[in-house]
Amino acid sequence: MKEEIARQWDVGEIGSITPLGGGSINGAFRVEAGAGSFHLRVYRDAQRQTVEREHAAIALALAVGIPTPPIIGTQQVGTIGRVGGQW
């Protein structure tokens, strides 16, 4: 998983990945990397549109000043990556 994350997001060397409890809809991990600590959400829904809708809602919230963690762009174009075959 470390290699997949490092290939897709420019966050520096991955130190640790810790699964977070809960999350009936998505898997969640705390990623400690050279650039800081990050929350990685792995969607259990195989539909990319689900992820796109959520990312659009987060962008809207940020645009109108609602405090929310920003989404990190991938090294390719966009914000959605694949880890372990999941979005």
For 29-72, how does the pLDDT look when each residue is reduced to its tens digit (9 = 90+)?
999 999 999 989 888 878 889 899 999 999 999 999 999 988 88
How many C-beta atoms surround the C-beta of residue 9 within 10 A?
21
pLDDT at 1 over 70: yes
**How confident is the model over 9-19, as a mean pLDDT?**
93
Sequence spans of domains, the chain: 2-63
Q: Is the pTM of this model over 0.95?
A: no
How far apart CA 38 and CA 72 sit, in angstroms, is: 9
Which residues face 14 on adjacent strands? Answer: 33
- CB neighbour list of residue 81: distance below 8 Å, 6 or more residues apart: 4, 5, 8, 9, 74, 87
- Report the pLDDT value the prediction gives residue 34, as an integer from 0 to 100: 94
Residue 23's pLDDT is 66
